[in-house]
Structure 1
């Protein structure tokens, strides 16, 4: 587990905070390395630069048929789900009014068996998160946005989970140890939330809480980082008809544009694009730390995922269109780069259940149009470490 590895390497210690300056120094030194997999080779036929031993293929393009269905525009957050001997990759569509999410079903050998919609008629579906009971939480990134719980297998209708709050949702990550769901908010003064369902596995009712400074509110980014002990307070009105959730609790910590969110082994990692940081909430000890705070090689932090080996894969919104790898020993290096897509962003990184394939999208493709009509979804195969 990532948290145990960090403890061994001097990371998130139980009794002492690892300050942002120490993380920043480690990141800057690591930027001179080439990472666990070695340097990137020249871009392949798909325009993807990868380390030796890795290959890419395009599995879907916006407006073209995949598995009998037209692939959606502006592909964004995604996740993989087991499906017998194969698996399913789910992807959001970050377009107004028609957003929703689609799924691609793969066979045991990676062949595409079909594709279908699992959510339609929603608004700007950006990121989300997978649940331990194999549903997909699709989040609307809009004022009074909602979280929809979707069936990746296509058997049940998607349902809004309004108790999880009405705000500019970005990503979600489930913590089965504490039976909560962490949520990020894409606002300049957004907050970091957790939802505590009344019954684990049923998100229809529960308590929405916001992360707070220990003894007072403040900024989690931009105007100076608050690290160390933190607490949670209940959001009085998650429906927020008049007062936004992020302004309801005076002690709430505020973050500059919450983006991706990933939980592993007692730690929830989340990114903030306004200050280009990766944060680490140590749920076991109630502490907030900074896992990455540097100008390079990772810039434009966005979606994030991880592996059982404890590696974090962080996608760039802009930057130079890379997915960067952060290892448990705090080495930060590019894992892949998409060339020729300067006006796009990388979205939806997710591993197949066996950990051998990585899926992601270039949301706006080579054309970079704001409507996302040139989106491309990729698969990378290679010797990923387990």
Structure 2
């Protein structure tokens, strides 16, 4: 059973705990900075990233420079990793108007770059997205009546729009293979939280779009079908009267029966318990995590949450409720951290500084990083 958990500034107040391997046996505890499982951050390295002891970083791509044969895109945003024989692939969106799309870097053993290529072109403000269990990438357009594109990270098949998943300001997607649905966030000040129920799992061309409905902020919820996913003329978030609205939906991540998602307008991390159809707040504070955005996780139950602004950190929320910085990018005050994703073996974390040190709105100074170290699995 999912039971209520709140984090307050400086103190983690836990009424009880989530069931399952992710969130168990929590008790009242403080959450000071640097109190996480990896220790305090050290001084920034040559790449400008401050890390805990035992971790190292490197820059793998820069906007406007070639990496593995592809010119790396501006404003790198949401990302994911995919297995590739004895190596892996990191996919990254481009959040720019009209020419957004997504690119991929292919890595070999030891992290050597084997190649780079485009997997999606000619789309608009591709923000976040999500990985599917059948190893495709869902790239989401963050525009009015935006679309979801299903992309082949291996570069063999053309990307396809999945219009049945709705036309709205899409942010992120997270697949729930247990219930065979895809959760979707909406980046609007009064955005909704959706799930797409495909007619056949593994095929997203047809299905039913539903919106989460609730009478209060947390607790039991229901789902109702969105009458017109095409949003013409009425926006999807306005079609169901008792839909629950959220202050700017951002990243989402599914694991062990729980879909975690973030809302930037109130700086919260939420948890939807899919088994019991209940909604709770995991984090609601001003420090140490601020500017909540993209989110990912590990099998150990650790959540990694990127900051949009703030002090340019990826913060960790552990299964025992410790909230602490994991890394900090220095000298990029006008940027945001995007696209955190782990390699398939969990030994490497990829992410980007979308606007880099220059911080220009066009994202022409984007930087993509790789962090290696003793991550908890």
Q: Distance in 2 between matches of 1:23 and 1:306?
A: 22
Q: How does 1:92-103 map to 2 (within 5 A)?
A: 92-103=93-104
Q: How does 1:54-69 map to 2 (within 5 A)?
A: 54-69=55-70
- Aligned equivalent of 1:342, options 306, 327, 333: 333
TM-aligned CA deviation for residue 25 of structure 1: 4.3
Match of 2:166 in 1: 165
Match of 1:356 in 2: 347
Match of 2:12 in 1: 26
- Aligned equivalent of 2:359, options 355, 368, 377: 368
Q: Distance in 1 between matches of 2:309 and 2:56?
A: 23
TM-aligned CA deviation for residue 253 of structure 1: 0.2
Contact map agreement 1:311 1:327 (CA 8 A) in 2: yes
Please say if 1:250 is aligned against 2:241: yes
Please say if 1:152 is aligned against 2:153: yes
Match of 2:137 in 1: 136
TM-aligned CA deviation for residue 385 of structure 1: 1.1
Q: How does 1:6-25 map to 2 (within 5 A)?
A: 13-14=1-2, 17-18=3-4, 20=6, 25=11
Q: Distance in 1 between matches of 2:300 and 2:177?
A: 19
For these two proteins, the number of residue pairs brought into alignment is 362
- Aligned equivalent of 1:377, options 338, 348, 368: 368
TM-score normalized by the length of structure 1: 0.92
Q: How does 1:31-50 map to 2 (within 5 A)?
A: 31-50=32-51
Match of 1:322 in 2: 313
Match of 1:233 in 2: 224
TM-aligned CA deviation for residue 22 of structure 1: 7.4
TM-aligned CA deviation for residue 338 of structure 1: 0.1
Match of 2:53 in 1: 52
Match of 2:17 in 1: none
Point out where structure 1 has 5 or more consecutive residues left out of the alignment.
1-12, 219-225
Q: Distance in 2 between matches of 1:22 and 1:296?
A: 8
Match of 1:286 in 2: 277
Q: Distance in 1 between matches of 2:117 and 2:10?
A: 43
TM-aligned CA deviation for residue 33 of structure 1: 4.6
Point out where structure 2 has 5 or more consecutive residues left out of the alignment.
14-28
Please say if 1:277 is aligned against 2:268: yes
TM-aligned CA deviation for residue 212 of structure 1: 0.3
Q: Distance in 1 between matches of 2:368 and 2:113?
A: 13
Q: Distance in 1 between matches of 2:258 and 2:69?
A: 40
TM-score normalized by the length of structure 2: 0.94
Q: Distance in 2 between matches of 1:276 and 1:175?
A: 24
Q: Distance in 2 between matches of 1:234 and 1:168?
A: 18
Q: Distance in 2 between matches of 1:60 and 1:180?
A: 33
Q: Distance in 1 between matches of 2:206 and 2:154?
A: 24
**Structure 1: 4+ residue segments shifted above 4 A:** 21-25
Match of 1:210 in 2: 211
Task: For residue 314 of structure 1, give the secondary structure of its aligned residue in structure 2.
Answer: strand
